[in-house]
Amino acid sequence: MGLKEEIAKRRTFGIISHPDAGKTTLTEKLLLFGGAIHEAGAVKSNKIKKTATSDFMEIERQRGISVATSVMGFEYKNYKVNILDTPGHQDFAEDTFRTLTAVDSVIIVVDAAKGVEAQTKKLMEVCRMRKTPVMVFVNKMDRPSKDYFDLLDEIEEQLQIKVRPLSWPIGNGTEFRGVYNLYEENLYLFTPGKQVLESGLSFSNVNTPEIEEHIGKESADTLREDIDLVEGVYNEFSVDEYRDATLAPVFFGSALNNFGVRELLHCFLEIAPPPLPSKTDVRMVDPFEEKFSGFVFKIHANMDPNHRNRIAFLRVCSGKFERNTYYLHVGLGKNMKFSSPTAFMAQKKSVVDEAWPGDIIGIPDSGNFKIGDSLTQGEKMNFKGLPSFSPELFRYIENADPMKSKQLAKGVDQLMDEGVAQLFISQYNGRKIIGTVGALQFEVIQYRLEHEYNAKCRYEPIRLHKACWMKSNNPEQLSDFKKRKAQYIAKDKYGRDVFLADSAYMLQMAQESFKDIEFHFTSEFE
């Protein structure tokens, strides 16, 4: 199969939501359809002591939340599907933001009872900024929910995108009877406690009396009224509008019961975009180009605790990646070859000989890669859109066990490369400062240092407001500023100057007094 055919069959997408909306459960059910797993782990279920396939870190198992992005691939109906399951918890939003740079489309999971929540809105802003096509899955229909039309209005208003239902629920909570698939004109009946994998009952017309035999006259009448209203209120579905990121198709179901998932998957495979062009600092890269290129959007240490290994997750952007072939590491300026690149099924991985645009591969890494690095077939270019965000919480990190200072240094170094948090070294006193977007990350760092690196750390408070990267065409003014604010100047992990403002007022005064210095809140700026 040639490059064109390989690209056409690939669908690489992320699943995003507010915590607890059922994102990881939906991921599992999609994997069940793909035959990638044969039994679902009931997330946080007390009855079954299994955990979700995509939550493989020990701390995730303990807390029942996803704290790192998992990558899973499977083949289904002539498509190669790559799913990136992201952390829902806002403290890990930065990992999710970066993951969204590696996908071509997104499925947003919304809880039918809670509606659109804060974290979903935030993530949608990133999709809007990047013009990423989104599809919405309204989950937990087997529980009491909001009125469906109110819910659709809320999705339109809060996510600032037009919607078009492509399936419609019949009842909700204990009265939930199933969904009518408007896209395929099929009826799917819901049986509580039964996992549904079979296809639905076909009806050429929702007005046919046969429907009443399956759901009763009252439910059938309500369904017909609702569908009339849907057809009257919403425009016809347009694939072009969906791909232009101006329209979001909506499906209803219950991921836990595997209900409504099949319809979502089939429609998604049919209409979602194949791999799209990527932006670099030099030009746009088309996936159909013959020469290989790709970028690292995530680094994960210790996926296998028995081997202290690191894996760089690389998104293939163009051409064909081949094992044991030399490629240029643009950041280091040297050629490297990789003998055991891997494809993922959550924690399980297998060596691959080749990969195509849209694929996510893992490259074993001994410290050569950092987030945002590019690999090419010789061309010097860097892919755009993978910034570090200005942290909002800061603490000094100190060694709690003097005998383990080497382990601590290595652990902190590797966790920072993963993008778990950011490290700043004060130029005033040489102390190390950890900056994070959320408080839970401090816990994760402490836990992982102890369990993965056999090192113990303790934190000390430091009162800071923001970290800002600095840029100036006036070296004298920059030098003067660094002298005046010596105790607030730090270097980041890559040796860039950072101003650690201790209050909003101090930052404002610096911006007003030093006009020739630009203060940036992300590490990526032109």
Domain identity same for 257 and 311: no
- Rounded Cα distance, 355 and 403, in Å: 44
Provide the H-helix boundaries in 202-297. Answer: 210-215, 217-233, 239-243, 261-271
**Nearest CA to 517 among 501, 492, 499, 505?**
499
Residue 214 lies in a domain: yes
Read off the pLDDT band of 396 (50, 70, 90).
very high
**What pLDDT, on a 0 to 100 scale, did the predictor assign at position 49?**
36
User: Which of 376, 411, 444 is the last residue in one of the domains?
Assistant: 376
**What pLDDT, on a 0 to 100 scale, did the predictor assign at position 93?**
58
3-state secondary structure of 54: coil
User: Which of 376, 402, 417 is the last residue in one of the domains?
Assistant: 376
Contacting residues for 137 by C-beta, under 8 A, at least 6 apart: 26, 107, 108, 109, 110, 250, 251, 252, 253, 255, 260, 264
pLDDT digits (tens, 9 = 90+) for 485-518: 999 999 998 888 999 999 999 999 999 999 999 9
- The torsion angle over the Cα atoms of residues 222, 190, 148 and 30, rounded to 10 degrees, is -150
In 319-380, DSSP assigns E strands to 321-322, 327-329, 334-336, 342-345, 348-351, 354-355, 360-365, 374-376
Domain that residue 449 falls in: 393-520
Q: Which residue has the higher pLDDT, 241 or 17?
A: 241
Q: Would the pLDDT of 394 be above 70?
A: yes
Out of 80-89, 102-111, 305-314, which region has the weakest mean confidence (pLDDT)?
305-314
pLDDT digits (tens, 9 = 90+) for 153-189: 999 999 999 999 998 888 878 788 888 888 877 777 7
Residue 41 lies in a domain: yes
Domain identity same for 362 and 413: no
Cα distances (Å, whole numbers) of residue 185 to 168, 202, 214, 226, 253: 11, 6, 15, 15, 16
User: Which of 330, 346, 376 is the last residue in one of the domains?
Assistant: 376
Residue 387 lies in a domain: no
**Rounded to two decimals, what is the model's pTM?**
0.76
pLDDT digits (tens, 9 = 90+) for 253-299: 888 888 888 889 989 999 999 999 998 888 999 999 999 999 998 88
Q: Which residues pair with 318 in a beta bridge?
A: 293
Read off the pLDDT band of 56 (50, 70, 90).
very low
Query: How many residues are present in the chain?
Result: 526
Residue 82 lies in a domain: no
Read off the pLDDT band of 224 (50, 70, 90).
confident
Residue 408 contacts residue 464 (beta carbons within 8 Å): no
Average pLDDT on 392-420 reads: 88
| CATH number of the domain enclosing 448 | 3.30.70.3280
Q: Which residue has the higher pLDDT, 203 or 366?
A: 366
**What pLDDT, on a 0 to 100 scale, did the predictor assign at position 53?**
47
Read off the pLDDT band of 8 (50, 70, 90).
very high
- Rounded Cα distance, 505 and 516, in Å: 19
Q: Which residues pair with 340 in a beta bridge?
A: none
Domain identity same for 256 and 291: no
What's 171's DSSP letter?
A: S
Residue 151, judged by CB atoms within 10 A of its CB (0-12, 13-18, 19+), counts as buried
Domain identity same for 371 and 403: no
- Rounded Cα distance, 259 and 192, in Å: 10
**What pLDDT, on a 0 to 100 scale, did the predictor assign at position 29?**
84
| pLDDT mean across residues, the chain | 82
Contacting residues for 14 by C-beta, under 8 A, at least 6 apart: 83, 84, 85, 86, 96, 99, 100, 102, 103, 106, 107
Looking at residue 522, its amino acid is T
| CATH number of the domain enclosing 372 | 3.40.50.300
**What pLDDT, on a 0 to 100 scale, did the predictor assign at position 308?**
55
Residue 1 lies in a domain: no
**What pLDDT, on a 0 to 100 scale, did the predictor assign at position 42?**
33
**What pLDDT, on a 0 to 100 scale, did the predictor assign at position 474?**
94
Residue 78 lies in a domain: no
pLDDT digits (tens, 9 = 90+) for 411-455: 898 888 777 788 999 999 999 999 987 787 898 889 889 988 899
Cα distances (Å, whole numbers) of residue 346 to 36, 74, 364: 10, 11, 16
Q: Would the pLDDT of 301 be above 70?
A: no
Domain identity same for 251 and 295: no
pLDDT digits (tens, 9 = 90+) for 130-143: 889 999 999 998 88
Q: Would the pLDDT of 87 be above 70?
A: no
Domain identity same for 305 and 256: no
**What pLDDT, on a 0 to 100 scale, did the predictor assign at position 478?**
94
pLDDT digits (tens, 9 = 90+) for 30-45: 888 766 555 544 333 3
Structure tokens at 184: 């395929």
Cα distances (Å, whole numbers) of residue 320 to 83, 294, 317, 519: 20, 10, 9, 40
Residue 381 lies in a domain: no
H or E segment at 397?
Answer: strand 393-399
- What total number of domains does the chain contain? 3
Read off the pLDDT band of 346 (50, 70, 90).
very low
Residue 388 lies in a domain: no
- Rounded Cα distance, 307 and 222, in Å: 58
Domain identity same for 421 and 314: no
Domain identity same for 329 and 473: no
Structure tokens at 180: 């009518």
Domain identity same for 19 and 164: yes
In 134-270, DSSP assigns E strands to 134-139, 162-165, 167-170, 178-181, 186-189, 201-202, 247-252
Domain identity same for 164 and 61: yes
**Nearest CA to 265 among 348, 181, 201?**
181
Domain identity same for 342 and 253: no
Residue 283: left (phi > 0), alpha (psi -120 to 50), or beta?
beta
Contacting residues for 382 by C-beta, under 8 A, at least 6 apart: 280, 281, 282, 295, 330, 331, 372, 374
Domain identity same for 367 and 406: no
Read off the pLDDT band of 18 (50, 70, 90).
confident
